[in-house]
Amino acid sequence: NPPIGIYLADIFNIKGILYQILINFEQLFWFLTKTSLIIMLVIWIRASYPRLRTDKTLELCWYILIPSAVFNLFIITAVKYFRGIL
């Protein structure tokens, strides 16, 4: 669909088989335009962010994420255990 919701065939009051042809071409045009804009936006965002270095990612995992996950596991286990007792 066009961004404003009005087709050119409606604006120029075209009827018949020409109406269908114009609508089909306009729908294809808007589909390809919107798709290409979204693809360009995704590529632009991906290219703007720096790449993560492997050693920094592993350091984050080993020193921060795994200990916090184990701590979270202990907390959830304690909550479940003591909720059953009380």
Inter-residue long-range contacts of 27-32, CB under 8 Å, 24+ positions, other chains counted: 27/1, 30/1, 30/2, 30/3
User: Residue 11's CB: how many other CB atoms inside 10 A?
Assistant: 8
Q: What is the mean pLDDT of residues 79-83?
A: 90
Q: For the chain, what percent of residues have pLDDT higher than 70? A: 99
pLDDT of 86 over the 70 cut: no
Q: Quick check: 58 pLDDT over 70?
A: yes
pLDDT digits (tens, 9 = 90+) for 25-56: 888 999 999 999 999 999 999 888 888 889 99
